């Protein structure tokens, strides 16, 4: 057989997936971020680009983003997002390929990248980047030293990206395609994460004197410093959402200005 056995396979040129891939150059299937499906995660721009990345590749993209020279003094502002990727990837329900979390996370990362583009005077590819651009401006251009303001801006930026990603047709299609149990699991996770960001933002925007008292442990004794830590994206990890919401429910119901 001329060309070997592969010569019998009319779709080998696109890895047997003519719906998902194309080969405009004749040199290999184009996954959206590299010829021949060699995915260069650093070049991801569109939602499809990010969705084509594995969980590990997304984590590598985010880690390299956080270590950008312009952010070299502030690489830990994305520790909670890296922790969230670890958490979702390891969870039996959230980590499924093509599942709502996996699809929506692509939009969240695109929104972050869009914010970086806006900050550098470029157009967005999609959306969700406006509040990220505001955060980068305060962090890099204004050299803001108000840590509570920066944390609030950072949490609001992530929420803006989450809202953008949730409204995407790809996310809604993924959610509709999940079984009822997985749909409930994701919506519970999303509600917890949205609630945490809302509470944490309100907390960081509240009375500066109260914040100072909490930081020095003068309120609620030993709980003050730990709660401060849990509302800081730079020190939060995979358990941030559950711990944060649980803690606020117990200790903060109606206690602080700006909290629901």
DSSP string, 48-104: HHHHHS-HHHHHHHHHHHHT-GGGTT-GGGGHHHHHHHHHHHHSTTTT-TTSHHHHH
Under DSSP, the state recorded for 236 is: -
For position 121, what pLDDT does the model report?
Answer: 96
217 half-sphere exposure, CB direction, 13 A CA radius: 5
For position 255, what pLDDT does the model report?
Answer: 44
pLDDT tens for each residue of the chain, 260 residues long = 344 444 555 545 444 555 444 444 444 444 555 444 445 677 888 898 899 888 998 999 999 999 989 987 788 899 889 988 988 888 888 889 999 999 999 999 999 999 999 999 999 999 999 999 999 999 998 887 889 899 999 999 999 999 999 999 999 999 999 999 888 888 878 887 887 788 788 878 876 665 665 555 554 444 455 566 677 888 776 555 454 444 444 444 444 344 33
Q: How many CB atoms lie within 10 A of CB 75?
A: 14
For position 124, what pLDDT does the model report?
Answer: 94
Task: Tell how far CA 186 is from the center of its chain.
Answer: 15
Angstrom distance (rounded) from CA 148 to CA 146: 6
CB 200 within 8 A of CB 214: no
CB 182 within 8 A of CB 96: yes
Q: How many CB atoms lie within 10 A of CB 87?
A: 19
For position 99, what pLDDT does the model report?
Answer: 94
Angstrom distance (rounded) from CA 9 to CA 11: 5
Number of H helices, E strands in the chain: 11, 0
> Which residues in 173-193 are b (16+ Cβ under 10 Å) and which e?
ebbeebeeebbebbeebbebb
Task: Tell how far CA 39 is from the center of its chain.
Answer: 20
């Amino acid at each position: 057989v001329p060309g070997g056995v592969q010569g019998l396979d009319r779709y080998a040129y696109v890895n047997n997936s003519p719906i998902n891939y194309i080969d405009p150059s004749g040199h290999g299937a184009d996954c959206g971020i590299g010829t021949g499906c060699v995915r260069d995660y650093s070049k991801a721009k569109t939602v499809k680009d990010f969705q084509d990345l594995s969980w590990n590749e997304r984590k590598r993209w985010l880690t390299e983003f956080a270590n950008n020279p312009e952010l070299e003094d502030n690489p830990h502002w994305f520790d909670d997002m890296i922790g969230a990727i670890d958490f979702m990837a390891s969870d039996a329900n959230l980590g499924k390929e093509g599942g709502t979390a996996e699809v929506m996370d692509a939009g969240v990362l695109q929104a972050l990248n869009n914010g970086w583009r806006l900050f550098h005077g470029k157009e967005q590819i999609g959306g969700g980047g406006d509040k990220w651009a505001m955060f980068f401006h305060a962090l890099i251009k204004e050299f803001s030293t108000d840590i509570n303001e920066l944390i609030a801006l950072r949490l609001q930026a992530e929420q803006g990206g989450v809202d953008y990603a949730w409204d995407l047709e790809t996310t809604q299609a993924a959610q509709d395609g999940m079984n009822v149990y997985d749909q409930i699991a994701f919506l519970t996770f999303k509600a917890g994460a949205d609630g945490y960001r809302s509470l944490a933002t309100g907390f960081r925007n509240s009375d500066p004197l109260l914040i100072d008292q909490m930081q020095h442990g003068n309120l609620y004794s030993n709980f003050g410093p730990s709660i401060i830590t849990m509302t800081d994206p730079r020190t939060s990890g995979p358990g941030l959402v559950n711990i944060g919401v649980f803690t606020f429910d117990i200790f903060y119901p109606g206690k602080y200005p700006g909290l629901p």
